[in-house]
Structure 1
Amino acid sequence: MRCRLAALGLAAMLTSLATTARAADPLSICLDEDRPPLSVHHRGKPDAGFDVLLAQAIADRLGRPLKIQWFESKLDEDSSPQLEANALLSDRRCSFVGGYALTTDSLVAPGMKTARLPDFAGATRDDRRRRVALGVLAPSAPYVYSPMTIVLGPKARDRKIGDIGDLAGLQLAIESGSLGDAVLMNFDKGRLIDSITHLVPGRDDLLGALDRGEYDATLIDLARFDAHRTAHPDTAITASGYYYPIGANRGYVGLANDPALIEAVNKALGELAAEGKIAEYGKQAGLTYLPPREPAILGDVWKQIMQR
Structure 2
Amino acid sequence: MKRRLAIAAALLAMATTVRAAEDPLKVCLDENLPPLSIHQRGKADSGFDVALAQAVAERLGRPLRIQWFESKLDETSSPALEANALLSDGRCALVGSYVFTKDSLVAPGVKTAKLPDFEGATRDDRRRRVPVGVLAPSQPYVYSALTVVLGEKARGRMIAGIGDLAGLRLAIESGTLGDALLMTFEKGRLIDDITHLVPGRDDLLGALNRGDFDATLLDLHRFDAHRASHPDTRLTASGYYYPIGVNRGYVGLASDPALIAAVNKALSDLQAAGTVADLAKAAGLTYLPPVEPAILGDQLQRVLQQ
TM over 0.5: yes
How far residue 301 of structure 1 moved from its aligned partner, in angstroms, is 4.7
Give 1:176's aligned amino acid: S
In the alignment, the residues of structure 1 paired with residue 72 and residue 144 of structure 2 have an alpha-carbon distance, to the nearest angstrom, of: 19
- Taking the aligned partners of 2:41 and 2:51, their CA distance within structure 1 comes to 18
Percent identical residues? 71
Stretch deviating more after TM superposition (287-296 or 298-307): 298-307
Note the aligned Cα RMSD (angstroms).
1.4
Of residues 124, 127, 134, the one that matches 2:125 is 127
Report the residue type matching 2:165 in the other structure: L
Question: How far apart, in 2, do the equivalents of 1:164 and 1:60 lie?
Answer: 43
Separation in 2, partners of 1:78, 1:173: 25
Q: Give 3-state SS (helix, strand or coil) of 2:285's partner.
A: coil
* 1:191 corresponds to: 189
Deviates further, 118-127 or 12-21: 12-21
Secondary structure at 2:56 match in 1: helix
Number of the residue aligned with 2:217 = 219
Please tell me whether the aligned partners of residues 171 and 196 of structure 2 are also in contact (alpha carbons under 8 angstroms).
Answer: yes
> After superposition, what is the alpha-carbon deviation per residue over 1:224-243, rounded to whole angstroms, capped at 9, x for unaligned?
00000100011111111000
1:212 CA displacement: 1.4
1:158-307 → structure 2 map (5 Å cutoff): 158-306=156-304
Aligned residues: 306
Q: Structure 2: which amino acid aligns with 1:152?
A: L
1:116 Cα deviation (Å)?
1.3
TM-score (norm 2): 0.96
Provide closer, same or farther for how the CA distance between residues 215 and 63 of structure 1 changes in structure 2, counting only shifts above 3 A.
same
TM-score, normalising length from structure 1? 0.95
Q: Kindly state the Cα deviation for residue 307 of structure 1 after the two structures are TM-superposed.
A: 5.3
Q: Describe the SS at the equivalent of 1:226.
A: helix
Unaligned runs of 5+ in 2: none
Runs of 5+ unmatched residues, structure 1: none
Q: Which residue is equivalent to 1:74?
A: 72
How far the C-alpha of 1:12 sits from its partner, in A, is 3.5
**Which shows bigger deviation, 21-30 or 196-205?**
196-205
Task: Please tell me whether the aligned partners of residues 144 and 219 of structure 2 are also in contact (alpha carbons under 8 angstroms).
Answer: yes
Following superposition, the deviation at residue 87 of structure 1 comes to 1.1
Q: Distance in 2 between matches of 1:37 and 1:21?
A: 34
Residue equivalent to 1:26: 24
Confirm or deny: 8 A CA contact 2:244 2:300 kept in the other structure. Answer: no
| One-letter identity of the residue aligned with 2:220 | L
Q: Tell me which residue corresponds to 1:43.
A: 41
SS of residue paired to 1:303: helix
Rounded Cα–Cα distance in structure 2 between residues aligned with 1:266 and 1:244: 28
Contact 1:76/1:202, CA 8 A, preserved across alignment: no
Once the two structures are superposed, residues 101-129 of structure 1 have per-residue CA deviations (whole angstroms, 9 ceiling, x without a partner) of: 11111111122222211111101111111
Amino acid at match of 2:221: A
The residue type paired with residue 285 of structure 2 is L
Task: Provide the C-alpha distance between the structure 1 equivalents of 2:19 and 2:152, rounded to a whole number of angstroms.
Answer: 57
Work out which of the residue numbers 50, 53, 57 in structure 2 matches 1:52: 50
Any conservation in 2 of the 1:77–1:177 contact (CA below 8 Å)? no
Mapped to 1, the partners of 2:113 and 2:79 lie a distance apart of: 11
CA distance in 2, matches of 1:47, 1:104: 31
Conservation of the 8 A alpha-carbon contact between 1:37 and 1:227: yes
TM-superposed deviation, 1:158: 2.1
Q: Deviations over 1:48-94 (max 9, x none)?
A: 00000000011111110000001111233433211111111111100
Question: Aligned partners of 1:203 and 1:166: how far apart in 2?
Answer: 28
2:97 to 96, 99, 115: 99
Determine the structure 2 residue equivalent to 1:90: 88
